[in-house]
Amino acid sequence: MPPKENEDAMFILDEIKTVIKDSIDEAIGSQQFNHDKVTHWTNGVSESCIKRLAVLNKPFKYVVTTVIMQKNGAGMIMATSCFWDKAADGSNTIRWENKTMYVIVTVFGAAI
C-alpha cells in the first residue's frame, strides 16, 4: 500500500464512485422521469458532485458532466477522451438507472 501522503494526491476510483452515487441519490432519489425537472436534476447532480469533491481537499481541478435520458427505447452512444498524465489524472463514469431514466455522470480530475 502506498504511503498516506501519496494517497492524498491520487484520483481514487472508488472514492469518486461514492461521490457520484451519493450525488445522484441526493438530487434524484427515487423520482420518475419528468421532462420539466431534467435541467434541475442535471444541475443538482453536477453541483453536488463538485461540492463533495471539494470536501476531499485533493490537488485536482474537476470537470463533471451529467446526462439524463428518458428510457424510451432510443439508443445513445457516449464517449470521452483525454490527453493527460495517466499516473496523476483520472476519470470515472457511472451509469445509474431506474424504471424511467438513465443518468450518466463523468468526473474528470486533472492534477494541479
Paired residues of 93 in beta bridges:
106
> For cell 470515472, what's the residue?
92
In DSSP terms, 98 is beta-bridged to: none
Q: Does the pTM of the predicted model rise above 0.85? A: yes
Is the alpha carbon torsion for 58, 61, 95, 2 positive or negative?
Answer: negative
Question: Hey, what domains does the chain have and what are their CATH numbers?
Answer: 4-111 (3.30.1140.40)
Average confidence score pLDDT of the chain = 93
- Among 22-31, 33-42, 81-90, which is the least confidently predicted range? 81-90
Phi, psi dihedral angles at 55 (to 5 degrees): -65, -30
pLDDT tens per residue across span 29-40:
999 999 999 999
High-pLDDT (> 90) share of the chain, %: 83
101 has pLDDT over 90: yes
Cα 85 to Cα 60: distance, rounded to the nearest angstrom: 12
